[in-house]
Chain A
Amino acid sequence: MTRTKKSMWLARIVLVVACLLFLSPFYWMINTALKEAPELSVFPPTLVPKIWKWENFTEAMGYFPFWRYLGNTVLITVLSTIGSVASNFVIAYGFSRIHWKGRDALFGIMLATMFIPFPVTMIPTFIIFAKLGWINTYLPMIVPSFFGAAFSVFLLRQFLMQIPFEISEAARVDGASEFQTMWRIILPLSKPALSVVAIFSALGTWNNFLGPLLYLQDEKLYTLSIGLTAFRSQHDVDMNLLMAASTLVVLPVVVVFFMFQKAFVEGMTLGSIK
């Protein structure tokens, strides 16, 4: 074998092993989700359920209001994604398409803020929202997304810088205001980058655990994240049901991933390389 062929086979072996390892948690989840309760305590554990108990999924849904939590999570995700796309686009536009004094210094400050971990601001932020009477509402999870996020601004700015400035110049000669230029010309051109920002902020909200943990105490308002946590504390021993519920929680993300695979993969690498 030539050296290239050898290294291709080596890569293939590494990847197949890695894929098996990466799939194993989800295999174990589904395997357990389909088992009958008595089979859970069989030792050694069985690799395939003896009886495939599909009813576990409906039973799990009966144990916690899955559809309600799904609806709550979707609501928060949609609203905060709208806020995030709108605000990050306008902010990134201001940091890239308009030349003004102090712009780059301010942009530098914004990048530096990415180093500040959220827990640093967690307590005063909680107090602000509590004073506003926003505990047990979705506002603490939604409103901040209307004020931009440093990483998304950075990502969009990189993209907006690449759009030729002659386009804006031509629009201006034609008498368009900055807002018109942004709305009618730059926005349509930015769709690929905006969809990446939309997908990642949606994902961030969907997967958010700490926010709902801090702000939602009323069970009716729970998101899937703390709904699942509550499920576990109530049904600790029913591992098959917990795994069925976990499958239900993971599934929407998997579906969305396959719908927008390209934007997901691009988004992962867009911001990282300079």
Chain B
Amino acid sequence: MRQTATPNPTKSGFLGRMSMTRGEKHNFWLGLLFVSPWIIGFLVFLAYPIVSSAYLSLTDFTGFGTPNFVGLENYQRMFQDEIFYKALQNTLYYTVLAIPIGVVVALILAFAMNQALPEIGLYRTILYLPSILPAFAVSFIFIWLLNPKFGLVNLFLGMFGVPTIDWFGDPEWSKFAIVLLAQVGAGGNALIFLAGLRGIPKTLYEAADIDGATPWHKFRFITLPLLTPVILYNIITGLSGGLQVFESAYITTGCGPADSTLFYVFYLYNNAFRYGQMGYASALSWFLFIVSVLLAVLLFWWSKRWVNYEVVS
């Protein structure tokens, strides 16, 4: 394939020059043909649903019959709905707790795995395997693992004199218990960090050694800056996972105790599929859409200030 075909990109918009040579035209339609499954999928499973839920959010749709137009009623209700704020707060709390814990755990594991130990393959397997196991099955295991009386965790903590914690039953602990559950997946993130660590050129450390740098300086001024792209990747996936946290709470706590694990998507799900409030749930999903777009833009802007793309091997 000729690689010279990129015309002046600054020229008008999406398609560049509007007039194309025959070869360009042929390639244009051919390219569109190849990516057409995605275009169809994009229109049917993304664009249409977003527009459709915008419309539904302005109606009193219950899931059956014809929706009646109610204007902005659902949005007004949303901003006066205490449970909505509660769900938002829970989700925020969870995300703010889960992201840094996730990054730190994965980083520690990655640093340890970066040492040239002969038995490293064994550690890697043990740490990584849990991250691919079905989250629903892991959630069931945690119900029993964190059982206040018969769980391993309290048995272990009890040996150090820690009083019994009712992890999933105490509103003070329930969100943390779900963050703990999410750490089962830390091995996967650790591998991503490990790949990042191995991508840092050795020469940088050698140069630092010559300059007499301490391990802390090397970490602070070489390792950490060069890992920022991976940290950003982790924050992105952590944020999207945090906004969508549902499954583990659905299984372990069922949004209790005292609504302490009623996360945003859980509330959305309840309204749509349990309370027959599709219209209101659509308003909730549109709010989620706007929040995710805003967060993506914010993250992109913020990342420019601290993510280092300069030396990447």
Partners in one complex: yes
Of A117, A125, A127, A153, the residue contacting B288 (CB under 8 A) is: A117
Known: A24-B145, A273-B229. A178 touches B30 (CB 8 A): yes
Chain A to chain B: the 7 pairs with minimum beta-carbon distance, closest first: A94-B34, A147-B41, A100-B31, A124-B49, A121-B49, A11-B115, A124-B52
B192–A18 contact, CB under 8 A?
Answer: no
B108–A91 contact, CB under 8 A?
Answer: no
B85 contacts the other chain (CB 8 A): no
Dominant SS among interface residues on chain A:
helix
Known: A94-B35, A101-B24, A116-B46. A123 touches B281 (CB 8 A): yes
Which size bracket describes the interface of B in this complex?
Answer: 35 or more
B42–A22 contact, CB under 8 A?
Answer: no
A110 contacts the other chain (CB 8 A): yes
B53–A26 contact, CB under 8 A?
Answer: no
In chain B, positions 1-51 with a C-beta closer than 8 Å to chain A are 1-3, 5-7, 14-17, 20, 24, 27-28, 30-35, 37-42, 44-46, 48-50
- Identify 6 new A-B residue pairs, CB closer than 8 A, beyond the known A24-B152, A90-B34, A144-B45: A23-B126, A115-B292, A117-B288, A128-B44, A265-B191, A273-B312
B144–A29 contact, CB under 8 A?
Answer: yes
Contact flags (1/0) for B113-154 with A, using CB distance below 8 Å? 111110000111111111011111110111011000111100
B30–A242 contact, CB under 8 A?
Answer: no
Of A45, A123, A261, the residue contacting B150 (CB under 8 A) is: A45
B244: chain A residues at CB < 8 Å are: 117-119
Known: A250-B134, A257-B129. A153 touches B38 (CB 8 A): yes
B247 contacts the other chain (CB 8 A): yes
A91–B292 contact, CB under 8 A?
Answer: no
B28–A90 contact, CB under 8 A?
Answer: no
Known: A11-B111, A102-B28, A243-B144. A147 touches B192 (CB 8 A): no
A45 CA / B285 CA spacing, docked (Å): 44
A228 contacts the other chain (CB 8 A): yes
A210 CA / B262 CA spacing, docked (Å): 16
Known: A273-B199, A274-B312. A264 touches B28 (CB 8 A): no
A22–B34 contact, CB under 8 A?
Answer: no
Known: A22-B187, A90-B34. A268 touches B126 (CB 8 A): no
B72 contacts the other chain (CB 8 A): no
A122 CA / B147 CA spacing, docked (Å): 33
B247: chain A residues at CB < 8 Å are: 209-210
B251 contacts the other chain (CB 8 A): yes
A45 CA / B144 CA spacing, docked (Å): 11
Most buried by B among A22, A120, A146, A172: A120
